[in-house]
Amino acid sequence: MRIRDAKVVICCPGRNFVTLKIQTDDGIYGLGDATLNGRELAVAAYLTEHVVPCLIGKDASRTEDIWQYLYRGGYWRRGPVTMTAIAAVDVALWDIKAKALQTPLYNLLGGRVRDGVMVYGHANGRDIDEAADEVGKYLSQGYLAVRAQCGIPGLPTTYGVSKDKMFYEPAEAGLPVENSWSTEKYLGHVPKLFERLRSTYGDEVHLLHDGHHRMTPIQAAHLGKQLEPYRLFWLEDAVTAELQEGFRIIRQHTTTPLAVGEVFDTVWDTKTLISEQLIDYLRMSLRGGGITALRKIASFADIYHVQMGSHGATDLSPVTMGAALHFDLSISNFGVQEYMHHSPETLEVFPHAYSFVKGYMHPGDRPGHGVDLDESLAAKFPYQRAYLPVNRKLDGTLWNW
């Protein structure tokens, strides 16, 4: 089973997606997601110019060897562009392997260890009333876990708050828009949101919140303490995690469970966080090196009681969603999967076997990861430059978005 051809397909059915399609000489193809929000064309060029020529003629079944070839063999290691490209190749090759063996991908990863994958939805509102109503809508759709974000009085925009509720997408066409931010205003307001949600919806629902990298460790420690009475499932991205030991400060002060990892690329981003038990959930997506890498990272996390909580934003294509569900179904230390709704156009471009029933998702039982690409439909949605916002404090200082 040799790799005969590989190509990159870029499309924008509502937002940009980069897809790698690898074809073998016995007629099987596999798909991998190579989308890196706001840097899409860099990964596309990395693949087309530097990876695809090396793949032609290789034995497609050698997923581990090809991973090592691209990681060690590239000399320049790590980084989001490199790891997104390697992930795309890896997921496409696992898709091929499962299709060749005519079995759903989860069977190659040890088989199912649970019946379904619990997911959380994104509820948001301009104020606490609206956010509370939105949480109610998710609960009435059967969700067992909901992330809640709301507008902050005195700030014109807030992370996670959008006009278009179910299809929230932070990247906007054109050059980056600028948001403004005040952590002081935020810290005073967020506990009121969760006080309301617990008093309205009771103790059963799992509530989550995303700090989106904006606090310092001591500010995050303070927020974690304030939120303890409302028993969050997790507080996500409380601080940026380049300085992993910064999480020691948060951990010393609060029992609110901590989650981080959606921008991580390799196991090296997690080493201190996991081995010192500074976090409870690792939120890396398959973008960090694909199934080959994430299986090892999940095993490392398992030793330290850290559970996996896959990033599942709309800037990852349905290919990542489908493959992630196979991964989630097969690892023992799984927590919850993020589930943001793709646009109807995106779901048409990527026909898929996965489904949502009563708070759980299932990848389906088609051979492979179960997500396809309608190339002729994709061609009708050409690339459109789009970026995530940038963020400034009220005095104009550039801050983390």
Residue 69 CB, shortest distance to Co ion, in Å, is: 32
* 253 in catalytic set: no
* 186 in catalytic set: no
Task: Please list every residue from 345 through 374 that binds Co ion, using CB under 5 A.
Answer: none
Closer of 40 and 210 to Co ion (Cβ): 210
Residue 338 touches which of Co ion, ligand EZ4, none (Cβ within 5-8 Å per kind): ligand EZ4
Residue 216 CB, shortest distance to Co ion, in Å, is: 18
Residue 223 touches which of Co ion, ligand EZ4, none (Cβ within 5-8 Å per kind): none
d(CA 297, CA 290): 11
Residue 63 CB, shortest distance to ligand EZ4, in Å, is: 26
Residue 335 touches which of Co ion, ligand EZ4, none (Cβ within 5-8 Å per kind): none
Closer of 19 and 37 to ligand EZ4 (Cβ): 37
d(CA 77, CA 87): 13
Task: Please list every residue from 176 through 215 that binds Co ion, using CB under 5 A.
Answer: 210
Residue 378 CB, shortest distance to Co ion, in Å, is: 27
Residue of 212, 213, 311, 352 marked catalytic: 212
Closer of 262 and 328 to ligand EZ4 (Cβ): 262
Chain residue whose CB lies nearest ligand EZ4: 313
Closer of 51 and 336 to ligand EZ4 (Cβ): 336
Residue 210 CB, shortest distance to Co ion, in Å, is: 4
Residue of 46, 120, 159, 339 marked catalytic: 159
- Under the rule (CB under 6 A), what is the footprint of ligand EZ4? 37, 170, 210, 212, 262, 313, 315, 338, 388
Residue 337 CB, shortest distance to Co ion, in Å, is: 13
Residue 40 touches which of ligand EZ4, Co ion, none (Cβ within 5-8 Å per kind): none
Residue 95 touches which of Co ion, ligand EZ4, none (Cβ within 5-8 Å per kind): none
Q: At what angle do helices 63-71 and 290-303 cross, to 10 degrees?
A: 90
Residues of this chain that bind Co ion (CB under 5 A): 210
Give me the active site residues, please. Answer: 159, 212
